[in-house]
Amino acid sequence: GLFNHRIFQDKVSEYVKRNLPFTLILIDVDHFKKINDTYGHPFGDKVLVRIAEILKEESERQGFAARYGGEEFALIIDGSKEYAQYRADELRRRIEKEEFYTDEGERVYITISLGLASFPVDARERTSLIERADRALYIAKRSGRNRVISWAQEEMGLF
């Protein structure tokens, strides 16, 4: 029920043309390959579907959500970077607390890493914005996962 990658690219371009503040959040499910290898692809699919449902709920307030590719998602939050950082951390905590169970009744703990960059503060064009959010996501994963890193934090060395 989320936008696909092509629509995501178009939507980001539309947001840039509006010239109003927004934040792009790229989201990656931590250790997803291990989840698939340990519990099977049907369970991995259930995890992705549930995360997509949560992202759709989150984006209904404002902005939009998309499947970015594989186990990666994208979320646009209208408004200030500070507000988006707050919402990103809320989302991270929500996924961390979500109860995922295998068919055998085993609870599996799922976490996500998030990287964000804001328009126009961090970038004024679509490709730069995506690259910076992706770079922040990479730092979030490299520095321990289950965290939110923004482009400015990365630049200031606060990770």
Catalytic machinery residues: 71
Q: What is the rounded distance in angstroms from the CA atom of residue 43 to the CA atom of residue 16?
A: 37
> Are 2 and 60 in contact, with CB atoms under 8 Å apart?
no
Q: What is the rounded distance in angstroms from the CA atom of residue 98 to the CA atom of residue 120?
A: 33
44: tokens are 């991995």
Going along the chain, which residue ranges are E strands? 22-29, 64-69, 72-78, 100-101, 107-108, 112-119, 148-150
Q: What is the rounded distance in angstroms from the CA atom of residue 60 to the CA atom of residue 63?
A: 7
